[in-house]
């Protein structure tokens, strides 16, 4: 019963490096999301997708890119890492837009440090 | 500008007593509210939700109350148990698949 799987769990990047945070779900959910959580702050929406081939910006999209080529996978790309991107990143999915029956299911997060 | 606010970063409660976690919001278009629970090194897990057409929703030891006029919701846990010790986030949505989260309240239930 995997649910939402995120890799890696931890990563240290140097300023200017690039990386891709992986996210996969096995629940056949249409909707997928990327959030970041900074210390003492709530989760901020970076990007989301309502289905394969469709993505849209959230509250804090600058410095990130996403793609959704399959229902299962929703990778998040950091092109030029900056210290401001040090955070814990959570991927989430939900079954439908009917919020009453489809809350977000979260992965366990990726802790990223940029130095 | 934070649309969902949890003004208490932490709360300590004795086992068996009631825990009350509070959340305020500013956007009157929000029509669906949720509470999530988060343990260290794990992702948040869904706890309970409430639609704006209701003022109360109950699930076992957990009850969420919504006061739309005050733009305030609260989560009551009765009785509190040590396993309830976690960070609790409230979240709200006005549709469009976007959920806005508060900054969280760390609950410590003392045995």
Q: Residue A31's domain is classified under what CATH number?
A: 2.60.40.10
Q: Which domain holds residue B16?
A: 4-110
Closest chain A CA to residue B88: A42
Confidence of residue A1 (pLDDT cuts 50, 70, 90): low
Question: Is pLDDT at B2 greater than 90 in this prediction?
Answer: no
Looking at the complex, report in whole angstroms how far the Cα of residue B56 sits from the nearest Cα belonging to chain A.
14
Rounded Cα distance, A61 and A47, in Å: 6
**B96 is written with which tokens?**
């469009």
The model's pLDDT over B11-70, given as tens digits with 9 standing for 90+, comes to 999 999 999 999 999 999 998 999 999 999 899 999 999 999 999 999 999 999 999 999
Residue A71 pLDDT exceeds 90: yes
SS3 assignment, position A95: coil
Q: Is A41 exposed, middle or buried, given 0-12, 13-18 or 19+ CB atoms closer than 10 A?
A: middle
A102, A48, A56, B99 alpha-carbon torsion, rounded to 10°: 60
C-alpha B50/C-alpha B16 separation (Å) is 25
What is the number of domains present in chain B?
Answer: 1
B43: closest chain A residue by CA = A108
- pLDDT average, residue stretch A54-80: 95
Q: Measured between CB atoms, which of B36, B43, B97 is closest to A97?
A: B97
For chain A, the domain total comes to 1
Half-sphere exposure of B10 (CA within 13 A, CB side): 4
For an interface test with A, which of B44, B95, B106 has the most A Cβ atoms less than 10 Å from its Cβ? B44
A2: confidence class by pLDDT, cuts 50, 70, 90: confident
Helix (H, G, I), strand (E, B) or coil at B84: helix
Q: Which residue in the block uniquely carries the two structure tokens 């208490």?
A: B8
> What range defines the domain where residue A69 resides?
4-114
Q: What is the CATH number of the domain that holds B53?
A: 2.60.40.10
- B74: pLDDT strictly greater than 70: yes
């Amino acid at each position: 019963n995997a649910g939402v799987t995120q890799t890696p769990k931890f990563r240290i990047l140097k300023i200017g490096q690039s990386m891709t945070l992986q996210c996969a779900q096995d629940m056949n959910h249409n909707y997928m999301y990327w959030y970041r959580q900074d210390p003492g702050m709530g989760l901020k929406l970076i990007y989301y997708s309502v289905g394969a081939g469709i993505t849209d910006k959230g509250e804090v999209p600058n410095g990130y890119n996403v793609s959704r080529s399959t229902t299962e996978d929703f990778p998040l790309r950091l092109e030029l890492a900056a210290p401001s991107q040090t955070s814990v990143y959570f991927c989430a999915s939900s079954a439908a837009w009917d919020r009453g029956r489809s809350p977000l299911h979260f992965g366990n997060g990726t802790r990223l440090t940029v130095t | 500008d934070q649309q969902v606010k949890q003004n208490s970063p932490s709360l300590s409660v004795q086992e068996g007593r009631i825990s009350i976690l509070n959340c305020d919001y500013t956007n009157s278009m929000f029509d669906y509210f949720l509470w999530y629970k988060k343990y260290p090194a794990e992702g948040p897990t869904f706890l309970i939700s409430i639609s704006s057409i209701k003022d109360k929703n109950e699930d076992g030891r957990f009850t969420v109350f919504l006061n739309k006029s005050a733009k305030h919701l609260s989560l009551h846990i009765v009785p509190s148990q040590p396993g309830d010790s976690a960070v609790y986030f409230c979240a709200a949505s006005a549709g469009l698949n976007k959920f806005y989260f508060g900054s969280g309240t760390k609950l410590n239930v003392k045995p």
